[in-house]
Amino acid sequence: MLTSANDNGRSNPGLAGRGPRMLDSDRPTDGENGDAIASLRPHYAAFKEQALGQLALCCHNPSDGDYESLEELRTLMHMLAGTATLFGEPAVGDLASELDEALTRRREPVRASLERARSGLADLRRS
């Protein structure tokens, strides 16, 4: 597993740097693992609802100091960012990725990140 250093110099497991995003043309079709993707779609939908529910909860009750809740949200957003595009929802993946990045790097107050997320939450719920 590759690692990358975060802002405080500690090593994070995962890919070093960000790779390219999956393009629409790269997504599997029915003839290319589409059946496997289709069988996972209900699990993805349930996970997406869980992740967006946690995001909504944090948006309505923001707490810069509640590390456990914010770390749970960051983990969910990271996972959602990695799977949303695969299931044909790049806008969901982009917002989740932006939040994951904001919660990881903490370059701005968490409240500001959550406020930006709140503005996109209604759109994501409809997708």
Residue 23 has pLDDT above 60, yes or no: no
Domain membership of residue 51 as a residue range: 39-126
More confident residue, 20 or 101: 101
Report if residue 51 sits inside a domain. Answer: yes
Question: Which helix (H) or strand (E) is 5 found in, with range?
Answer: strand 3-5
Q: Is residue 29 part of a domain?
A: no
Q: What is the Rg, in whole angstroms, of the alpha carbon atoms belonging to the chain?
A: 15
What's the number of domains the chain is made of?
A: 1
Per-residue pLDDT of 59-108, as tens digits, reads 777 665 567 777 888 899 999 999 998 999 998 899 889 888 888 887 66
Q: How far apart are CA 86 and CA 21, in angstroms?
A: 10
Residue 1: pLDDT over 50: no
The predicted model scores a pTM of 0.62
With respect to residue 32, please indicate whether it lies within any of the assigned structural domains: no
Mean confidence (pLDDT) of the chain: 72
Q: Phi first, then psi: give them for residue 8, nearest 5 degrees.
A: -95, 10
Q: Would you state the pLDDT for residue 70?
A: 79
Residue 31 counted as domain residue = no
Question: Which range, 1-15, 20-34, 40-54, is most confident?
Answer: 40-54
The CATH number of whichever domain residue 64 belongs to comes to 1.20.120
Q: At 15, which amino acid appears?
A: L
Specify whether the CB–CB gap between 80 and 45 falls below 8 A: no
Residue 12 lies in a domain: no
Asked whether residue 30 is domain-assigned, the answer is no
Given a contact cutoff of 8 angstroms between Cβ atoms, the answer to whether 80 and 48 are in contact is: yes
Q: How many other CB atoms are found less than 10 A from the CB of residue 76?
A: 22
Candidates 41, 40, 45, 114; CA nearest to 73 is: 114
Classify residue 60: in a domain, yes or no: yes
Whether the per-residue pLDDT at 10 is higher than 60: the answer is no
